[in-house]
Amino acid sequence: MSAATIVEAPMPLVAGVDVGGTKTEAVLLDARGAELSRARVSTRTGPAGVVGSVADAVAAARRAAGPTGRGGLLRAVGVGVPGAVDAATGTVGRAVNLDVEDLDLARRLEAALGCAVVVDNDVNLAAVGLARSRRPSTPSLAFLNLGTGMGAGVVLDGTLLRGTRGAAGEIGHLCFDPRGPRCGCGMTGCLELYASGSGLLRASGGVPVAEVFARAERGEPRSSAIAARFSTALAEAVRVLAQAYDPAVIALGGGVFASERLFLPRVRRVIGEWEASSTFVRSLRIGERLTVVEATSAVAATGAALWAAEIAASTAAGSAPALRR
């Protein structure tokens, strides 16, 4: 009698990665979508640096999950990148913070990781992560990201809205003030010039967001004016989301939101003033839908993993890929 060798099938896993300008965060999920582990590595820039950072973060998350993570079978990896992405091919057109342009990221990562890889814009994937991780999950959500710039990721009817040219949700470059300054995009008075990290720094002469709002709280006139304009432009962006998409949830997040305790009440006040004078705005009940996301990169990594799992499942089932226009 010989002892039978017991061979267990390796556990199927999916990973999601958020590539930020300084940190790359990975999350590992099991087949049912439960989180097994998380890990962070420093982001290295340039094409080889980005590919290596993603691979390192996934490896770190696998190690952090112990034997299950190290021995599991990675079925798919989703990657969120701060830049213009052609989601159909997984090519990064331009990501200034990562110092890459026209990078065939999905194909290079598939070679490095040995599994299917999907790549999308980080804000889009944060929107997916937020919509899927709510209890109960919501069919429609708009995520307004305020970082250096302003952009929105939109989930409608459970699916990510990308648009015909990947431009859906580009509301940061809608006009806030037709008499405003020229924006880097070439247009005038864009929302992003007023309600974004870069916009606020330009207006404040380099004084950081939190400090501007702290000074405004103390009544300093110049900071008060900047804070008021920031809050009004942000409220206007929220109104654009409510009137364009009318989603169940409007989530605000991004780097700037570390100071949310200081400026969220101001945004709510602006909306409250509009509601006092407009039955139309009142009917939108914007305040009830507003929520703040504290850790955007963690949410984007989760969204990337869930999105990769859905793509993998639809591919396995032989159905059309879950991409939509």
Nearer of residues 135 and 165 to a second copy, judged by Cβ: 165
Query: What is the enclosing helix (H) or strand (E) of 49?
Result: helix 46-64
Nearer of residues 68 and 188 to a second copy, judged by Cβ: 188
Report the interhelical angle of 209-217 vs 221-244 (nearest 10°). Answer: 110
Nearer of residues 29 and 156 to a second copy, judged by Cβ: 156
- Rule CB under 8 A: choose which of 21, 139, 208, 287 binds a second copy: 139
Nearer of residues 14 and 183 to a second copy, judged by Cβ: 183
Instruction: Give dist(CA 170, CA 112) in Å, integer.
Output: 32
Q: Closest approach of Cβ 245 to a second copy, in Å?
A: 6
Name every residue whose Cβ is closer than 8 Å to that of residue 55 and which is 6 or more positions away in sequence.
109, 112, 113
Instruction: Give dist(CA 158, CA 315) in Å, integer.
Output: 18
By CB under 8 A, the residues from 220 to 239 that bind a second copy are 236, 239
- Rule CB under 8 A: choose which of 22, 48, 280, 294 binds a second copy: 280
Nearer of residues 8 and 157 to a second copy, judged by Cβ: 157
Piece of 115-123, 181-189, 300-308, 313-321 that binds a second copy (CB under 8 A): 181-189
168: region left, alpha or beta (phi > 0 left; psi from -120 to 50 alpha): beta
- Rule CB under 8 A: choose which of 150, 193, 267, 281 binds a second copy: 281
Q: Closest approach of Cβ 94 to a second copy, in Å?
A: 11
CA 275 to chain centre: 29
Within 10 angstroms of residue 114's Cβ, the number of other Cβ atoms is: 11
Report the interhelical angle of 209-217 vs 260-277 (nearest 10°). Answer: 60
Query: One symbol per residue from 140 to 179: x for binding a second copy (CB under 8 A), - otherwise; what is it?
Result: x---------------xx-x-xxxxxxxxxxx-xxxxxxx
Piece of 64-72, 184-192, 258-266, 299-307 that binds a second copy (CB under 8 A): 184-192
Report the interhelical angle of 260-277 vs 221-244 (nearest 10°). Answer: 60
By CB under 8 A, the residues from 239 to 278 that bind a second copy are 239-240, 242-248, 274, 277-278
Nearest to 257 by CA among 281, 221, 233, 291: 291
Query: What is the enclosing helix (H) or strand (E) of 27?
Result: strand 23-30
List of residues contacting a second copy (CB under 8 A): 139-140, 156-157, 159, 161-171, 173-179, 185-187, 236, 239-240, 242-248, 274, 277-281, 283-285, 289, 324-325
